[in-house]
Amino acid sequence: MSVKQKTGYAAIMLSVCIGLAATSGVAFGAKKKLVPLNDAEFEQAKGMYFQRCAGCHGVLRKGATGKNLEPLPNKAKKSKGTLKLGTKRLAKIIKLGTEGGMNNFDDIFSEEEIDLLARYIQMEPPIPPEMSLALMKERHKVYIEPKDYPTKPLHGRNWENFFVVIERDAGKIAIIDGDKHEIVDHIDTGYAVHVVKTTEHHSKEKPVNGIAGRFWYTQGRDGKMTKIDLWQEPGKMLVAETQMAYDARDVAVSGDGKYVIGGGYWPPHFVILDAITMEPLKVVSTRGVNVDGDYVNEARVAAIYTTPNEPTFWVAVKELGQMWQVNYTDLDNLAIKQVNSAKFLHDGFFDPTGRYFQIAANASNKMVIVDSQTGKLVAMIDTDKKPHPGPGANWIDPKCGPVGGTTHLGVGKVTVWGNDPVGHKDAAWKICYEVDTDGAGVFIRTHPTSDYIWADQTKHPEPIIQQSVKVIDKKTRKVIKTIRVTEEDGKAAVHMEFNKDGTEVWVSVWNRKDASNPTGEIVIYDAKTLKEIKRIKGLTTPTGKFNVYNRTNHVT
């Protein structure tokens, strides 16, 4: 796939970046000259970096989950500098990936594109612009007024067993009927949607519309947030949108359904919007001093979650190593409690009670536990390299009782810890056991009715591993089956999700190589026998998928 075809969505952010030094072919402060990039090549490489690299390495290339990619040495980051590595070495890393969690890109980029990117990252990074609340309001669009929303579903389908599926590179999400295994709609959203979330069932709050799970909110890499109404007819499900950043990752909806919050990678801020109209209401910068006492300009919001039992959002400020508990009951006098933990905070999930939030500090090799009731740090669990639970998994272990689990970006392993400080105090916040897999993974999932835990291995560069998922028995704690989901070149298996009653497991086949065509698919397995049931085709780069009932009711 040529990246030249995909620069449109990055243009808003990247065309206004300051890149004068880079076009000269010389890095600031460096004596070593590079093969110059002309203007067209520079814009192309800039788009490639934004699409595929900025998420892990940062817009300013300071590094986080990925390594520092500044041109000159950075002792604090233990970086020799990209100029020191040189074009040939950088191109090899981009091409083949590493077993430490970086994918290979030889099945996405051509040799020429890899060379272009290798030269680009030896140049000073361009600095993107800021974004004001006024600009966000200008980019707010309403397609269907709230007063015109239907009072009952218009399609006659079981919408509570719908799957909301990210079609990453197409800039769309697909709605799939979980009962009939049919694609209901493809909806235009922002590019590379990272997360889709909905109003959930909470013990203390009820959605203002009385219906949890009906409205879904997407957050794209281009900062566009969209509102989806699952009761509308196909073709009319997109009801509103707003761009709240140039680069963004996560979204969450308040327990009462009044507010939706989006987290920016650039600018580093979070934005609270009216969940009904999608009008932006408040912007809060997350720049600040990290847990080491250093000021961080690019302090990005990696994850945002609604607290099940409190009127708050948990905002993970990645580079600061801080969890911010944001009380949304009074936006004019916003109360934020900052909880120090460890770097770099990324993805997390709640324990079954909804009190404790469990999040990965992947650069510190820790799982961080914070208490939503007290707003304090509870524990930091040492793990293997770069834990990454995605939306996570909770289940009952025969010895440790209630537990949570994570995959790792840096090693083939599933780590399991106790998360019940009341009923199983001795096991709480301690590693219960570990299970070796063949390669680094991104997601782990299970269901209360299932005997198994599923883990992907998407981050390993070898196709046979990246295309397979592991199934682990909850009782024996052993891998009982390795399932090769696909054998097609340039495709990877990623992200598992159960259907409403836990009888099926859906796995995405992500067509990384042929990302401009609908050659991706979802493979459905019987959750008990582990046999393949069906393949749903006609999807473009499907990655994450979210079952309406399970996500609304915190079924992990």
Residue 441 CB neighbours (<10 A): 33
Catalytic residue among 13, 17, 102, 496: 102
Of 346, 424, 447, 495, which one is the catalytic site residue? 346
In angstroms, rounded to a whole number, what is the distance separating the alpha carbons of residues 447 and 395? 8
Active site residue 400: no
- Nearest CA among 159, 161, 185, 157 for reference residue 173: 185
Is residue 102 part of the annotated active site? The answer reads yes
CA 452 – CA 472 distance, rounded (Å): 5
Q: CA angle 415-416-419, nearest 5°?
A: 140
Out of 53, 225, 278, 432, the active site residue is 53
The tokens of 173 are what? 């999400």
Q: Note if 202 is an active site residue.
A: no
Asked if 306 contacts 200 with a C-beta cutoff of 8 angstroms, the reply is yes
Chain-centroid distance, C-alpha 25 = 34
Return the axis-axis angle of helices 111-120 and 39-52, rounded to nearest 10°: 90
Kindly name the residue from 48, 56, 123, 244 that is annotated as catalytic: 56
Among all chains, which residue has been given the structure tokens 């990696």?
Answer: 302
Q: Which two tokens stand for residue 271?
A: 């934005």
Beta carbons of 40 and 52 less than 8 angstroms apart: no
Q: Note if 140 is an active site residue.
A: no
DSSP class per residue in 448-461:
TT-SEEEEE-TT-S
For the question of residue 57 being annotated catalytic, the response is yes
For residue 75, give every residue at least 6 positions away whose Cβ sits within 8 Å of its Cβ, in sequence order, or none. Answer: none
Give 248's Cβ-side CA count (13 Å radius).
31
| Residues 394 and 403 sit within 8 Å (Cβ to Cβ) | yes
* Residue 435: CB atoms within 10 Å: 18
User: Which residue in 1, 57, 123, 186 is the catalytic one?
Assistant: 57
DSSP β-bridge partners for residue 174: 165, 186
CA quadruple 36, 39, 45, 49: dihedral, nearest 10: 110
CA 39, 41, 45, 47 dihedral sign is positive
Catalytic residue among 186, 194, 269, 388: 388
- Calpha distance 308→203 (Å, rounded): 7
Respond yes or no: is residue 388 known to be catalytic.
yes
Q: How far apart are CA 296 and CA 312, in angstroms?
A: 25
- Three-state secondary-structure class, residue 27: coil
Separation CA 356–CA 374 (nearest Å): 10
Order the strands of the 387-397 sheet from edge to edge: 387-397, 401-408, 413-418, 431-436
Question: Which residues participate in catalysis according to the annotation?
Answer: 53, 56-57, 102, 346, 388
